[in-house]
């Protein structure tokens, strides 16, 4: 074990984490980036379609982008934050291009765009259908160039407090199994989403709500956690994502009769309505018997082989590998699947949480720019805008913070907790069994259509699973690369966060964005145009509310 | 579907830490990948099995393994496509890298080599206010290389790395190509100069293994070949590799055939004193070839129809600039 000291500690090395790290380095801070996987393994990789920005220099209007984001959020997004994001988007795209992202070009060699859901104008910049990977690898290149300090394959198990402020993290070095203290005057959580709480999910196996739970345990509120996005086009079976860019390029959604059913639900925007709207439409088709094997179809045949092979080459490969479908020849069966968490650790536009010394950015944070429903291609934008802002704020604030007195002894509680997990005699219960039960019950009860009974059942199950978890033992007793231990810790994070999702969902007695209740099918601006906050109190989770910031756009009826 | 995974394992904390094999017989769905099988083992059979994995969709690059002796991604390989008649599949950690535990290996040397090629854009001149103007074809072409997910499959099966750990290797060289091929990059000359040295582009033996095993169609070897062309075109003739390629082509172009007698001295440089030792070292080989009647005479006359061969060259090379 050892003690390390830095100005700023960034947890997570996806787009938000690396952008925050670079920003803090540029501000002169000594930065440590801690990540449980190598940076280029981060799940930002899996973002396919693109990144939105209104380039005002070529006649686009950032306010139009902002309004569409507000409307997409079903008026739950904070409009001041949305304005910040949309206004800074243009320069941020240009900056990424200058760093080296190989964005698609138009005939004149300038950045080209494609259309995406919930927006009238084509303002999505892209690299084929691997935009996330392209951006992630370029940010890693910049991390290499900046010679940033990376603690690679280190797993953060808890935040360490001193005088009511976060002043470091406890982290497990996976190669050796040693627990270390990494002190920081500011800690930025950029740990991504919550996908593995659900089964199936488009998300990778590493997406386990780590940051949400870490922050929750030190008293930071989790906001709007009930807003869980189901992506309209995920593959049956393993739930792998088929990008919205397919529809952006003109693909159809059809039911078993070959009808483009979106004409019933969103006659103007059709397949490019907001994701929550499209997912509900699909689920309705399936529920009413117009699907096949719980799926409807994504049809790209009319787009032609050439377009598919150049602009959608990755999903073409995925469809072939995992569904045995050649997209140019056959429609591929798809269905709505868990994809993104709009809610997260409550922050301001500079990533500051309500706990001193703690910051958050990216999917684990809730600024809130996505509100009840995120527009496609706004998530990459969120990561680089608020990643940068959090990095700058943390580096600035860290200058005002004195040396911490923390010593290794701060690790004692953490060491005890891990020792308990390791020392208990193995039973037949495993982290995998607990996760699978959680995933299934969440996917049944807190999904596209929700009602009181289903959500209560999910919550009851989660509470039972937490009880089982308290007796869980790790089977692998080794020190080196003990993935069994890591998985057990991740399951603990997920259970905390799943409970917050259920509580937020049960308390919101209306339908808004991704939260659609069959028992309260209408949006209720009077009662619920407000953010849900779940905070860990002395006697368990507590729910409170905070108002939505409205600047220019009063709530209207939302139709596409 | 019944399948038996025969896994090459390693526990560094065992009393006697030696690699060993363990078999797991599983009942799985037909759509299961090798990775699905490994996760199934880890979750339900043996939680101590270590393997890196995340996305399950061939984009994160975590799960490179050797499957029946060849590198590939666990998540992209269906069990049904690789099992033998008895339902057996052999799974091992990747090659050319040190094992950490089971299927997890030490990636540090891999990343060190990526870092060695200065893997970041180095534009020249003042930054434009807006984006760099770049042709779409050039960008589309680069996407093919940028598709590299750094999984290490190519490095695992590289036959040069088996004998020389200093070789930069297919992944790092493909990464280098991504910048040399980028119209926005201004450091091409310097990059090529470094790649032209020992451990760089000329150490590839063109065995094609990296092209075969790459799960993303990056074709590292082909990129290395283009880097060689670019190095020669940039006036870097002074390597054995460049001399070998140039004299090979030159001989065929002028006489219609290759005379190996001259290939060796011309590869090392006829008057290159630095390479005298290497040339002497080749003498025993030459002697053995001579004894077996496999060394051509120094005479190198034009073959009949040589002018046709020459015309092919001229057509391929195009008009002299």
CA A519 to chain centre: 27
Domain boundary among A312, A336, A360: A336
Predicted local confidence at residue B299, as pLDDT: 87
Predicted local confidence at residue A519, as pLDDT: 97
Domain boundary among A336, A356, A390: A336
- Alpha-carbon torsion, ordered A322, A328, A329, A334, to 10 deg: 50
Per the CB < 8 Å rule, is A40 touching B121? Answer: no
* A252 three-class SS: strand
- Domain shared by A413 and A518, yes or no: yes
**Could you report the per-residue pLDDT of A340-378, keeping only the tens digit for each?**
999 999 999 999 999 999 999 999 999 999 999 999 999
Predicted local confidence at residue B295, as pLDDT: 86
Q: Is the pLDDT of residue B274 over 80?
A: no
Pairing of strands A332-341, A228-235: antiparallel
| Within a domain: A271 | yes
Per-residue pLDDT band at B321 (split at 50, 70, 90): low
* Domain over B108-233 is classified CATH 1.10.1060.10: yes
3-state SS of A505-535 is: HHHCCCCECCEEECCECCCCHHHHCEEEEEE
Does B264 or A86 have the greater pLDDT score? Answer: A86
% pLDDT > 70, chain A: 100
Average pLDDT for residues B251-272, to the nearest whole number?
A: 87
Q: Is the pLDDT of residue B279 over 90?
A: no
| Within a domain: A541 | no
B42 and chain A in contact, CB less than 8 A:
yes
Per the CB < 8 Å rule, is A46 touching B147? Answer: no
Per the CB < 8 Å rule, is A479 touching B120? Answer: no
- Residue from A123, A231, A523, A531 carrying the catalytic annotation: A231
| Within a domain: A90 | no
Mutation for A interface: B81, B130, B174, B178, most A CBs within 10 A: B130
Q: Is the pLDDT of residue B320 over 70?
A: no
Range of the domain at A461: 409-523
Q: Where are the domains of chain B?
A: 2-105, 108-233, 240-317
Predicted local confidence at residue A542, as pLDDT: 98
| Within a domain: A254 | yes
**Cβ-proximal residues to A489 (8 Å cutoff; 6+ apart), any chain:** A155, A157, A418, A421
Predicted local confidence at residue A368, as pLDDT: 95
Predicted local confidence at residue B137, as pLDDT: 94
Nearest chain B CA: its distance from A338 CA (Å): 14
DSSP category for residue B301: P
| Within a domain: A418 | yes
Q: Is the pLDDT of residue B60 over 80?
A: yes
> Cα(A251)–Cα(A270) distance, rounded to whole angstroms?
11
Predicted local confidence at residue A469, as pLDDT: 97
**Could you report the per-residue pLDDT of A157-169, keeping only the tens digit for each?**
999 999 999 999 9
> Cα(A521)–Cα(A503) distance, rounded to whole angstroms?
18
Predicted local confidence at residue A238, as pLDDT: 81
Per the CB < 8 Å rule, is B150 touching A321? Answer: no
* Contact by Cβ (8 Å): A544, A500: no
Q: Is the pLDDT of residue A324 over 80?
A: yes
**Could you report the per-residue pLDDT of A509-551, keeping only the tens digit for each?**
999 999 999 999 999 999 999 999 999 999 999 999 999 999 9
% pLDDT > 90, chain A: 96
% pLDDT > 90, chain B: 83
Taking Cα atoms as reference points, which of A365, A367, A361 lies closest to residue A390? A361
Predicted local confidence at residue A34, as pLDDT: 98
B12 and chain A in contact, CB less than 8 A:
yes
Predicted local confidence at residue B93, as pLDDT: 98
Predicted local confidence at residue A135, as pLDDT: 98
Going from the C-alpha of A536 to that of each of A168, A500, A541, A542, the distances in angstroms are: 20, 9, 4, 6
Predicted local confidence at residue A357, as pLDDT: 98
Domain boundary among A523, A539, A554: A523
**Could you report the per-residue pLDDT of B85-139, keeping only the tens digit for each?**
999 999 999 999 999 999 999 999 999 999 999 999 999 999 999 999 999 999 9
Predicted local confidence at residue B286, as pLDDT: 87
**Could you report the per-residue pLDDT of A458-516, keeping only the tens digit for each?**
999 999 999 999 999 999 999 999 999 999 999 999 999 999 999 999 999 999 999 99
* B89 three-class SS: strand
Whole-prediction pTM value?
0.96
Interface of B with A in 216-235 (CB under 8 A): none
Mutation for B interface: A18, A51, A105, A473, most B CBs within 10 A: A105
Residue of A nearest to B10 (CA): A480
- Domain shared by A425 and A324, yes or no: no
Average pLDDT for residues A135-148, to the nearest whole number?
A: 98
Predicted local confidence at residue B42, as pLDDT: 96
Per-residue pLDDT band at B273 (split at 50, 70, 90): confident
CATH assignment of the domain containing A493: 1.20.58.100
**Could you report the per-residue pLDDT of B226-245, keeping only the tens digit for each?**
999 999 999 999 898 999 99
* Contact by Cβ (8 Å): A259, A281: no
Strand partners, A465: none
B124 and chain A in contact, CB less than 8 A:
no
Predicted local confidence at residue B229, as pLDDT: 95
B127 and chain A in contact, CB less than 8 A:
yes
Kindly list the residues from chain B whose CB atom is less than 8 angstroms away from the CB atom of residue A131: none
Per-residue pLDDT band at B278 (split at 50, 70, 90): confident
**Could you report the per-residue pLDDT of A87-101, keeping only the tens digit for each?**
999 999 999 999 999
| Within a domain: A396 | no
Does B295 or B142 have the greater pLDDT score? Answer: B142
Pairing of strands A449-450, A516-517: parallel
Per the CB < 8 Å rule, is A45 touching B59? Answer: yes
- The phi and psi torsions of A2 (rounded to 5 degrees) equal -150, 165
Kindly list the residues from chain B whose CB atom is less than 8 angstroms away from the CB atom of residue A322: 31, 57
Average pLDDT for residues A246-264, to the nearest whole number?
A: 96
Number of domains in chain A: 2
**Could you report the per-residue pLDDT of B2-22, keeping only the tens digit for each?**
999 999 999 999 999 999 999
> Cα(A38)–Cα(A35) distance, rounded to whole angstroms?
7
B15 and chain A in contact, CB less than 8 A:
no
Per-residue pLDDT band at B317 (split at 50, 70, 90): confident
Predicted local confidence at residue B268, as pLDDT: 86
Average pLDDT for residues A277-297, to the nearest whole number?
A: 97
Average pLDDT for residues A284-301, to the nearest whole number?
A: 97
Predicted local confidence at residue A273, as pLDDT: 95
Per the CB < 8 Å rule, is B149 touching A145? Answer: no
Kindly list the residues from chain A whose CB atom is less than 8 angstroms away from the CB atom of residue B51: 483
Average pLDDT for residues A284-310, to the nearest whole number?
A: 96
Per the CB < 8 Å rule, is B57 touching A310? Answer: no
Superfamily of the domain at B2-105: Beta-grasp domain (3.10.20.30)
Predicted local confidence at residue A284, as pLDDT: 97
Q: DSSP readout, B10-51?
A: --TTSSS---EEEEEEEE--TT-BHHHHHHHIIIII-TT---
| A231 carries an active-site annotation | yes
Kindly list the residues from chain B whose CB atom is less than 8 angstroms away from the CB atom of residue A242: none
Average pLDDT for residues B186-215, to the nearest whole number?
A: 96
Per the CB < 8 Å rule, is A57 touching B130? Answer: yes
**Could you report the per-residue pLDDT of B64-99, keeping only the tens digit for each?**
999 999 999 999 999 999 999 999 999 999 999 999
Mean residue pLDDT of chain A comes to: 96
CATH assignment of the domain containing A289: 3.90.700.10
Burial class of A475 by CB neighbour count within 10 A (0 to 12, 13 to 18, 19+): middle
């Amino acid at each position: 074990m050892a003690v390390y000291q830095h100005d700023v500690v960034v947890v997570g090395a996806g787009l938000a984490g690396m952008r925050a790290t670079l920003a803090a380095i540029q501000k002169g801070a000594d930065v440590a980036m801690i990540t449980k996987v190598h940076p280029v393994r981060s799940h930002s990789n899996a973002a396919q379609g693109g990144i939105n920005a209104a380039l005002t220099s070529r006649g686009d209007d950032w306010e139009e982008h902002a309004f569409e984001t507000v409307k997409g959020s079903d008026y739950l997004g904070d409009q001041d934050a949305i304005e910040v994001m949309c206004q800074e988007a243009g320069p941020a795209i240009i900056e990424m291009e200058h760093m080296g992202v190989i964005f698609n070009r138009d005939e004149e060699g300038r950045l080209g765009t494609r259309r995406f859901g919930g927006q009238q104008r084509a303002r999505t910049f892209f690299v084929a259908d691997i935009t996330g990977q392209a951006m992630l690898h370029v940010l890693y290149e910049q991390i290499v160039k900046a010679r940033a300090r990376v603690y690679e394959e280190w797993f953060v198990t808890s935040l360490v407090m001193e005088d009511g402020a976060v002043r470091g993290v406890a982290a497990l070095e996976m190669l050796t199994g040693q627990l270390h203290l990494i002190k920081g005057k500011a800690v930025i959580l950029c740990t991504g989403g919550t996908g593995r709480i659900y089964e199936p999910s488009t998300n990778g196996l590493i997406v386990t709500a780590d940051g949400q739970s870490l922050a929750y345990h030190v008293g930071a509120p989790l906001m709007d956690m009930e807003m869980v996005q189901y992506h309209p086009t995920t593959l049956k079976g393993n739930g792998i994502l088929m990008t919205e860019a397919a529809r952006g390029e003109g693909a159809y959604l059809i039911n078993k009769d070959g009808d483009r059913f979106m004409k019933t639900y969103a006659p103007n925007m059709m397949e490019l309505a907001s994701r929550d709207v499209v997912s509900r439409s699909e689920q309705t088709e399936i529920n009413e018997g117009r699907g096949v094997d719980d799926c409807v179809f994504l049809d790209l045949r009319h787009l032609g082989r050439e377009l598919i092979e150049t602009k959608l080459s990755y999903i073409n490969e995925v469809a072939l590998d995992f569904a045995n479908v050649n997209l140019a020849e056959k429609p591929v069966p798809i269905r709505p699947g868990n994809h993104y968490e709009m809610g997260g650790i409550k922050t301001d536009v500079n990533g500051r949480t309500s706990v001193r010394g703690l910051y958050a950015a990216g999917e684990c944070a809730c600024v809130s720019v996505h509100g009840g429903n995120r527009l496609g291609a706004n998530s990459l934008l969120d990561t680089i805008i608020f990643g940068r802002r959090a990095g700058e704020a943390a580096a600035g604030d860290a200058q005002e913070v004195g040396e911490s007195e923390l010593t290794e002894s701060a690790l004692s509680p953490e060491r005890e907790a891990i020792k308990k997990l390791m020392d208990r005699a193995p039973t037949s219960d495993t982290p995998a069994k607990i996760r699978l039960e959680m995933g299934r019950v969440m996917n049944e009860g807190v999904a596209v259509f929700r009602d009181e009974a289903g959500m209560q059942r999910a919550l009851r199950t989660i509470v039972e699973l937490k009880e089982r978890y308290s007796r869980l033992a790790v089977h692998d007793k080794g020190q080196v690369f003990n993935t069994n231990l890591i998985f057990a810790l991740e399951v603990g994070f997920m259970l905390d966060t799943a409970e917050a999702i259920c509580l937020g969902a049960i308390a919101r007695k209306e339908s808004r964005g991704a939260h659609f209740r069959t028992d309260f099918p209408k949006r209720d601006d009077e009662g619920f145009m407000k953010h849900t906050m779940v905070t860990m109190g002395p006697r368990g989770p507590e729910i409170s509310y905070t108002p939505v910031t409205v600047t220019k756009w009063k709530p209207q009826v939302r139709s596409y | 579907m019944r399948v038996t995974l025969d896994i090459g394992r390693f526990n560094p904390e065992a009393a006697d830490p030696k690699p060993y094999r363990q078999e797991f017989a599983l009942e799985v769905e037909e759509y299961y990948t090798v990775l699905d099988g490994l996760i199934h083992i880890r979750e339900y059979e043996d939680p101590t099995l270590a393997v890196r994995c995340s996305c399950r969709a061939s984009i994160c690059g975590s799960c490179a393994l050797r499957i029946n002796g060849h590198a590939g991604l666990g998540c992209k390989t269906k069990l049904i496509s690789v099992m033998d008649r008895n339902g057996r599949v052999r799974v091992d950690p990747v090659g050319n890298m040190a094992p950490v535990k089971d299927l997890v290996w030490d990636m540090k040397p891999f990343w060190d080599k990526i870092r060695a090629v200065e893997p970041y854009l180095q534009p020249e001149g003042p930054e434009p206010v807006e984006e760099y103007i770049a042709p779409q074809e050039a960008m589309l072409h680069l996407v093919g290389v940028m598709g590299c997910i750094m999984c290490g499959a190519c490095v695992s099966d590289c036959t040069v790395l088996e004998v020389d750990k200093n070789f930069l290797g297919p992944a790092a060289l493909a990464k280098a190509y991504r910048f040399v091929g980028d119209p926005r990059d201004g450091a091409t000359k310097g990059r090529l100069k470094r790649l032209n040295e020992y451990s760089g582009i000329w150490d590839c033996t063109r065995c094609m293994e990296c092209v075969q095993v790459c799960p993303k169609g990056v074709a590292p070897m082909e990129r290395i070949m283009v880097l060689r062309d670019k190095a020669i075109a940039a006036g870097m003739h002074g390597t054995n590799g460049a001399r070998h390629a140039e004299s090979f082509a030159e001989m065929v172009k002028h006489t219609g055939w290759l005379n190996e007698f001259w290939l060796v001295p011309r590869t090392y440089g006829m008057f290159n004193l630095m390479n005298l030792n290497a040339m002497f070292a080749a003498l025993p080989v030459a002697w053995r070839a001579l004894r077996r009647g496999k060394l051509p005479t120094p005479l190198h006359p034009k073959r009949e129809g040589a002018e046709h061969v020459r015309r092919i060259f001229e057509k391929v090379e195009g008009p002299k600039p």
